[in-house]
Structure 1
Amino acid sequence: MYSSLEFRKSSYSPNESACVEIADVPGTSAVRDTENRHLGYLTFPSKEWAAAVNAVRLQA
């Protein structure tokens, strides 16, 4: 785990209670649920996270 990450709210999250936060680390993207920050975060290789985001965009 990384000791200090700077999370930002996803621009696709509709409101404060239903959002995802993302932090970028070289080569990695960390993702957490705003409502459950205490549960930690998941990390994904940046290329995989970008592919997931692009797949969601194509479905919208």
Structure 2
Amino acid sequence: MGSAFFGWLTAISSAVFLTALGAYTEAKVAMFRTADTEFAPWTVVKSARTEAMRSVLSRLA
């Protein structure tokens, strides 16, 4: 299996990914809107360690 095969396989995988990306994004947004409640709010963490610790500590304080 040469590099041409893997290049072809990567191109197909990328095309499939890009085709599904829109549907995935719409489903993700719908899930956040439905599941985000006052009792169990979602917290978006941009920088995993730092923001996660800030979120946890602010809830404990």
- The normalised TM-score by structure 1 is 0.30
* Structure with the larger RCO, 1 or 2 (CA within 8 Å, 6+ apart): 1
Larger strand proportion of the pair: 1
Q: Which has the larger radius of gyration?
A: 2
